[in-house]
């Protein structure tokens, strides 16, 4: 007789783990205790969970596991950024990035192995798509970061490899765990989901979550966005902008962060800035200008700093909050849209190509 596979408790939300323990004949609070052991205290050995009855611990040994991804390579940058190559149970690899800044710790988390959206300016798009991450693999990146830092990160951004809203059913419970008081206690305002514009999933997200929203925009009109962000051909700006407004409509204090990579001679003129101002009229917005980070094989170039600043000032004069993102981790290929490289995977004793996370702008 084939035995049922053991349940990985890492990927269960509070409701999920309570239900699992009730199914074992235990009490819901036992599930909450185990959730706290795993996520808040980082304990993975059932026998070390001292407030769980011995008989229940023995049952857990037969029915459950605490299975986490593992870091196989850590690359520190000169600016303090660290890029972790993370190996999954099936041997696939993703990357997670830690960005320290003025007492804050931001962790950039992946949601897929690869990406299918094929944005033309992003190196991850060149790696193709393999599969979605499950809940345990997503929240496992936060678990690893918490163990490394000694505390939960202050900010988590779902801006890593893949399109988070294309993996809706796993990303949403993972974000719930990030905010859970028994786990990481990260404020909803400090959990950010980034999308390239999967409109139906964005509308669905508004019904179940109110984390911060960032949108990979990168162009002020459909013709140019069709070229840069191909999903625009399916969900054009006429659908995307209202969906974004709907998402933040419940709270007048909230703003949408629009990610806009600055490409020399492509989308960085004052005329483009004026078009962007018209597009965002009446939309609660913050525009994050991102200097393009080149990668091998690309034909795009980085906009000159003076042009980026002129673009930013034009937006500001119109009343739109606008910032220019500081490039972080570029000396280890950990900067936005740049993350692809060869690493020496010591667990396999050979040099192999590792598909890695693009921080934004999938």
Distance, CA of 122 to CA of 226 (rounded, Å): 15
Residue 243 CB-density burial (10 A; 0-12 exposed, 13-18 middle, 19+ buried): buried
Q: What share of the chain is helix, strand, coil (3-state, %, to 5)?
A: 40, 25, 40
Q: Looking at 18, 87, 95, 359, which residue is catalytic?
A: 95
* DSSP code per residue over 237-296: HHHHHHHHHHHHTT-TT--EEEEEEEBTTTT-SHHHHHHHHHHTTTS-EEEEEEE----T
Burial 204-233 (b: 16+ CB within 10 A, else e): ebbeebebbbbbbbbbbbeebbbbbbbbbe
Residue 254 CB-density burial (10 A; 0-12 exposed, 13-18 middle, 19+ buried): middle
Residue 298 φ/ψ, nearest 5 degrees: -85, 150
> Going by DSSP bridges, is the β-strand pair 70-76/64-65 parallel, antiparallel, or unpaired?
unpaired
Tally Cβ neighbours within 10 Å of residue 275: 16
Q: Looking at 108, 115, 244, 336, which residue is catalytic?
A: 336
* Residue at token pair 């902008």: 241
Distance, CA of 238 to CA of 218 (rounded, Å): 15
User: Radius of gyration over alpha carbons of the chain, in Å?
Assistant: 21
119 tagged catalytic: no
Which is nearest to 193 in space by CA: 219, 166, 218? 166
95 tagged catalytic: yes
Residue 340 φ/ψ, nearest 5 degrees: -155, 135
Q: If DSSP codes are grouped into helix, strand and coil, which group holds residue 310?
A: helix
On whether the CB atoms of residues 215 and 195 are closer than 8 A, the answer is: yes
Distance, CA of 29 to CA of 34 (rounded, Å): 9
Tally Cβ neighbours within 10 Å of residue 262: 24
Residues identified as active-site = 95, 336
């Amino acid at each position: 007789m084939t035995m049922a596979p053991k349940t990985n408790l890492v990927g269960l939300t509070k409701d999920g783990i309570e239900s699992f323990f009730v199914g074992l004949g235990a009490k819901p609070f036992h599930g909450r205790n185990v959730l706290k052991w795993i996520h808040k205290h980082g304990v993975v050995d059932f026998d070390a969970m001292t407030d769980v009855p011995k008989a229940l611990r023995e049952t857990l040994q037969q029915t459950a596991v605490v299975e986490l991804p593992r870091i196989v390579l850590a690359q520190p940058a000169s600016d303090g950024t660290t890029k972790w190559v993370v190996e999954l149970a099936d041997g696939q690899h993703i990357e997670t990035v830690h960005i320290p800044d003025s007492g804050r710790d931001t962790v950039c988390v992946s949601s897929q192995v690869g990406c299918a959206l094929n944005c033309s300016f992003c190196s991850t798009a060149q790696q193709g798509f393999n599969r979605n991450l499950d809940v345990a693999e997503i929240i496992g990146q936060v678990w690893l970061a918490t163990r490394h830092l000694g505390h939960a990160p202050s900010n988590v951004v779902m801006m890593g490899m893949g399109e988070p809203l294309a993996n809706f059913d796993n990303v949403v419970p993972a974000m719930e765990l990030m905010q859970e008081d028994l786990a990481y206690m990260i404020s909803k305002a400090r959990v950010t989901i980034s999308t390239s514009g999967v409109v139906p999933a964005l509308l669905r997200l508004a019904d179940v979550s109110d984390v911060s929203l960032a949108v990979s925009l990168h162009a002020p009109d459909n013709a140019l966005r069709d070229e840069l962000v191909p999903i625009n051909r399916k969900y054009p700006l006429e659908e995307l902008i209202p969906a974004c407004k709907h998402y933040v409509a419940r709270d007048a204090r909230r703003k949408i962060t629009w990610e806009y990579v600055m490409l020399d001679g492509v989308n960085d003129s004052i005329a483009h800035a004026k078009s962007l101002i018209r597009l965002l009229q009446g939309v609660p917005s913050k525009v994050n200008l991102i200097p393009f980070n080149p990668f091998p094989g690309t034909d795009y170039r980085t906009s000159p700093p003076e042009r980026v600043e002129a673009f930013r000032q034009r937006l500001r004069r119109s009343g739109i909050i606008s910032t220019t993102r500081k490039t972080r981790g570029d000396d280890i290929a950990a900067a936005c849209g740049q993350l692809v490289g060869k690493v020496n995977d010591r667990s396999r004793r050979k040099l192999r190509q590792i598909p890695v996370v693009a921080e934004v702008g999938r």
